Structure 1
Amino acid sequence: MMSRTLVPLLFLFLVPPVVPLFCYTCVFPAVSPLECIRFPLLCPAGQVCLFSKAVGQKGEMRVVLSEKSCIQPFLCGLTGHKSIMGLNFTFTNQCCDTHLCNGNAVSHSATFWSAILLALLTLSAV
């Protein structure tokens, strides 16, 4: 029979650790057709990568904002409305849960440099 102190220790080894993700984040939201200036960010444990798109229209003027960052999983798949600068926007949150998965249309050279940066950040964290 196992002792009472051994059971909690075994439980700790059976539970997989939560590994934080690296996600792209934007310096500021981008207005279409421009892509945001993005860089990898180590998210807090338990968060996932976000790509959010907001579309606003006023008369003939149509504005599309995009944002990338880290987010709590319960906000994934959320759609709704928000008002920014007098325009009403409809937004959609899309999430993913692998490193730098919220990049969209990343060129091969950007992927290469992101991988190098991710490796350097990982090594410096150790």
Structure 2
Amino acid sequence: MSRPHLAIVFLCCLPLAACLRCYTCVFPAISPMDCLKFPQECPAGQRCLASTAMGTRGSLQITLYEKSCAISSQCDVSGQKHAAGLSFNYTNICCDTDLCNGAAPTAALCWRAMVLCLLPLLCLTLV
């Protein structure tokens, strides 16, 4: 295989690194339930986020769980936010492997990127 062909194959394999899949919640869930989550392909450069927010108002205590894709500045931070008359203390934790922000981590293979990577090899062998 010539060098230009190798370069094309290499460039086609680059999207594999950007194919991170994370769970995303349809809407936040209140403890003890987990949120209604589904896998989503994140934009390049984003990580998987799992956020826990504990809110109190008098004797009422609510814990919210959220999952999503996130930019790095949202990762590994804690703070306060206010919503619906409650003050929430939140903690965001990020991870970098497929579906790592779910309750049971599961590796998923990005087949579309794999096919795109192998397509030039298949075309070269047919020519």
TM-score, length-scaled by structure 1: 0.72
Shift of 1:59: 1.1
1:100 aligns with 2:89: no
2:19 is matched by which residue type in structure 1? P
State the 1:60 CA deviation.
Answer: 1.0
Give, as a single letter, the amino acid of the residue that structure 1 aligns with 2:62.
Answer: V
1:49 aligns to what?
Answer: 48
Aligned residue type for 1:49 = C
Q: For 1:71 and 1:21, how far apart are their aligned partners in 2?
A: 11
1:10-56 Cα offsets, whole Å, 9 max, x none, are xx97xx66423000000000000111010000000000000000000
Is 1:122–2:107 an aligned residue pair? no
What percent of counterpart residues are identical? Answer: 47
Look up the match of 2:70: 71
Q: Say which SS state the counterpart of residue 34 (structure 1) adopts.
A: coil
Q: In structure 2, how many angstroms separate the alpha carbons of the residues matched to 1:64 and 1:29?
A: 10
Query: What are the residue-to-residue correspondences of 1:21-36 with 2, within 5 Å?
Result: 21-36=20-35
Contact 2:52-2:63 within 8 A present in 1 as well: yes
Cα distance in 2 for partners of 1:123, 1:74 equals 29
Contact 2:53 2:63 in 1 (8 A): yes
Matched residue, 1:58: 57
**Structure 2 counterpart SS, 1:79:** strand
Alpha-carbon distance in 2 for matches of 1:123, 1:75: 28
Amino acid paired to 1:22: R
Using the alignment, how far apart are the partners of 1:42 and 1:83 within structure 2? 29
Q: Does the aligned pair in 1 maintain the 2:21–2:40 contact within 8 Å? A: yes
Separation of aligned partners in 2, 1:48 and 1:122 = 19
Report the aligned-residue RMSD. 2.7
Give the match's secondary structure for 2:18: coil
> Which structure carries more relative contact order (alpha carbon 8 Å, separation 6+)?
2
> What are the ranges of 5 or more consecutive residues in structure 2 without an aligned counterpart?
1-6, 117-127
- Deviation (angstroms), 1:73: 1.2
How many residues in Structure 1 have an aligned counterpart in Structure 2? 104
Letter in 1 for 2:33: L
**3-state SS in 2 of match to 1:74:** helix
